[in-house]
Each structure stands twice: as C-alpha cells, then as structure tokens.
Amino acid sequence: MANTGDLVSIKLIADRLMRNPILKDLTWEFIVDNAIEVLRILEAPSLFVNRSEGLEVKDFRAMKPVDIMNINGISKVEGGNLIPLTANSDILADDYPGMQSLAVRQESTYSLNSRYVITNFEEGKIIISYKAIATDDECYPLVLNNAVLLRCVESYIKWKWFDVLNDMDMISDRKLNKAETDYCFNAAQADANLKLPSIDEMEALVNQITQLLPDRSAHASRFEFLGSRERMRIQ
C-alpha cells in the first residue's frame, strides 16, 4: 500500500544517484526532466496533489493553469452555487465556441485544448479542480516518500543516462540492458504499489457497485455522494 502522507524533494533522489561514480556528471536539468517524465508514465493518482483555481471566462475561453496534469472537473459559479460543467462533444466547439446548433444546449459545457478551457458561454467565472505535481519552495518536484517509487524514479534516470553513455561508447550494451531491466522491474512494482486501493477506497467502490438503482444525478452533486452507502427504507 502506497504511503501518501509524506513528500520528499527530488534532491534526495539526486543525492542517491550521484553516489554512483558513473552518474557523477548528471545535471539537475536531466534529473528533473526525467523524474517528471516517469511520474507522467506511472500516472498514479497518489503521485499528484489536488488543486483548485478560479478562472475568468472572457470571449468563451479561460487560460488553463500552467501546472495542470489531469482535470478532476470544472464548475461554473452562479451566484453562491457551483454548477458542474459537462464535456462538450461538439466537433466544432474549439473553432466556433459561440455558435449554437439547431438543438440549443440547456446546460453549460466545456472543451479543452493545449492552452485554454473553452466554454459555451461568453463570460463568467469557473472553478477548475485538477491534479498537479507538488513542488517545493524552489520549484523542484516533490515525490512520495515511498521506497518502491523512489527506486523506480532512480532506475529510470539511470537507464536514460546509461543510454546516453552507450551512444558515446562509454559503457557496454550489457550494462545498458541491465539498467533497462532494473527499470522495467521497478516500474511494474511501483505501478502496482501506487494504484492498489486502500481499505477506505475499496469500501467506496463496493458502495458504488452494489447500488440497487444507478445514481443518474451524481454529476450534478460533483460526485459528493457517489461512494456513500445506499440505505433502503422498508417502512
């Protein structure tokens, strides 16, 4: 079971890597770039922190946060209420956000591109909930203090560095192959370790599966009660 309560700086991984004489020439840029890359590859929810940010919509669009990894959901602020938005399936939503089809939508929707959140309303305010990589005061990534994960990140950086050295004929193919094998083994362990649900998460999952009637209004309540136990009134 992954330990999700403690975070350590990427500097710890750098210190451990540089104990190997072959890795003494590693640069900070190389370490950080590849550490973020392997975190993206694993994509375990417990690797990221939840953040929310209010965005102003002008001319049917709002700039996305720069540190966004995955979006949990987007809600529109109307008075004192938050109205969840649904994803827009219109194939022309990005090009003609203000155009309405013959079947006018009643609900507010959004779509995404590389820079913007595009809405079907011209102005307003939205709250975006998303996952991001945690960083320290110097903007270096923070990683879960999980032995399996740390070993995975270290082995990935080592493998990528050995690939560079092998291209320069500084290490043998045998050493490169061993580094790749070590990474594959550690990645499989980390993937299983980080995605194994806790007892509380399994309870919420069971509550979703064993519902007598499907909850068709969960999105409107931002999935607040999706994992709650269903109770039957018999009188």
Question: Domain check: are 160 and 62 in the same one?
Answer: no
Of the candidates 181, 149, 190, the residue with the CA atom closest to the CA atom of residue 162: 181
Domain boundary among 132, 165, 187: 132
Question: Domain check: are 42 and 141 in the same one?
Answer: yes
Domain of residue 13: give its range.
7-47+134-195
Residue 203 domain-assigned (yes or no): no
Question: Domain check: are 74 and 145 in the same one?
Answer: no
Question: Domain check: are 76 and 189 in the same one?
Answer: no
Question: Domain check: are 43 and 143 in the same one?
Answer: yes
Question: Domain check: are 71 and 104 in the same one?
Answer: yes
Residue 109 domain-assigned (yes or no): yes
Q: In the structure, what pLDDT confidence band is assigned to residue 97 with cuts at 50, 70 and 90?
A: low
Q: Which residues contact 74 (CB under 8 A, 6 or more apart)?
A: 84, 85, 110, 117, 126, 127, 128, 129
This prediction's pTM: 0.71
Residue 227 domain-assigned (yes or no): no
Question: Domain check: are 120 and 167 in the same one?
Answer: no
Question: Domain check: are 110 and 168 in the same one?
Answer: no
Residue 68 domain-assigned (yes or no): yes
Of the candidates 86, 193, 179, the residue with the CA atom closest to the CA atom of residue 147: 193
Question: Domain check: are 147 and 33 in the same one?
Answer: yes
Residue 212 domain-assigned (yes or no): no
pLDDT in tens, 120-139: 888 999 999 999 888 888 87
Question: Domain check: are 56 and 171 in the same one?
Answer: no
The mean-pLDDT minimum among 50-64, 118-132, 148-162, 210-224 falls in 210-224
DSSP H or E run through 14: helix 10-17
Residue 228 domain-assigned (yes or no): no
Q: Report how many domains make up the chain.
A: 2
Residue 200 domain-assigned (yes or no): no
pLDDT in tens, 191-229: 888 877 778 878 888 888 887 777 777 777 777 777 777
Question: Domain check: are 123 and 150 in the same one?
Answer: no
DSSP 226: T
Per-residue pLDDT at 77: 92
Question: Domain check: are 39 and 74 in the same one?
Answer: no
